[in-house]
Amino acid sequence: MKYIAPRWLPGGHLQTIWPALYSRRGFGPPPEYRRERWDTPDGDFVDVDFLANAGVAAQPAADTRPLLVVFHGLEGSSRSHYCEAFADFARERGWACALPHFRGCSGEINRAPRAYHSGDHAEIGWMLQRLRAAHAGPIMAVGVSLGGNALLRWAAEVGEDAAQSVGAVAAVCSPVDLAAGGHAIGSGFNRQVYTRMFMRSLVPKALQKLAQHPGLFDRQALLAARDLYAFDNIFTAPLHGFRNTEDYWLRASAKPLLHRIRVPALVVNARNDPFVPAASLPLPHEVGSSGHVTLWQPPHGGHVGFARGRLPGHVRAMPDAVGGWLAEHAGANGAPGSARQQGAQSPHG
């Protein structure tokens, strides 16, 4: 991905904040979704949004169009700027698009004590298997930030079996070294801006879980938490089978396992991402010699920004590039619904 930020948008922080708040997300109207609620094997539920009139068909086994699955990031949803941009890309190509929500991120708190986390590969695998069973066409999956790390963890865990569910995967701006990302977001400007933003959402949700399940964790300790390290130590780690934050960040990170991936996988990270230090990004020799993992590390882009065009800009540059790569490597370019858009990587400037 040969991305250069516009002159009017300098620096990793601006390239992160401005696109999320002000840039255009697509070239058509905001995507319309239809929602399905899926019961999980452990008695909980997840909500999955499908691109309306372009999602899985009424009889999905007959739908041979490419299906793009988009996994959101920490506290994201199908309405996050990057999700709407990917949905706009899929609509333009005539693809189906599914946007699963991690537990508690669809606007309604989930039932079980657990929530979601960066290494939630079993949940990813279950969602993809269900989508595969309901769709006949090629399936591609992209995860953004937290969702990308979890997606790569799944691909590494299952190895060659990943090809039974997907043709190719991509991770965008994912902290594949969770310790490096966690320390970065917990210091300096990041702590004052991004950490506070996440904590404003995470803490009330955790308190809702405590109301559902009294005694789940120490309420006063949670209220005293001021960063993600403390939050993960009190809530995320113990609720999901980890000893503490260090154990969670170590065992959930995708970076040490990238060499195990056996489907085409794209790992995209801007080198000026405030959340993901450039020094922590995987190097070519760390992804193995199989040729399955491709690294894109452009100098600019911020954290899931990649704005392009005149002020206020648009955020379709990254979905166009990533979606085009996925289509090529998943054999989706020749599938029904995609031909009219082949070669149209960035027709809008």
**Catalytic residue ranges:** 145, 273, 303
Q: How far apart are CA 143 and CA 48, in angstroms?
A: 15
Burial 262-284, CB ≥16 within 10 A → b, else e: bbbbbbbbbebbbbbbeebbbee
Q: Which residues pair with 49 in a beta bridge?
A: 35, 99
Q: Hey, what amino acid is at 347?
A: P
Q: Which residues pair with 50 in a beta bridge?
A: 34, 98
Which among 157, 127, 156, 124 is positioned nearest to 267, based on CA atoms? 156
DSSP label at residue 24:
B
Strands (E) across 284-329 are located at 293-296
For residue 72, CA distances in Å to 166, 207, 345 come to 17, 22, 22
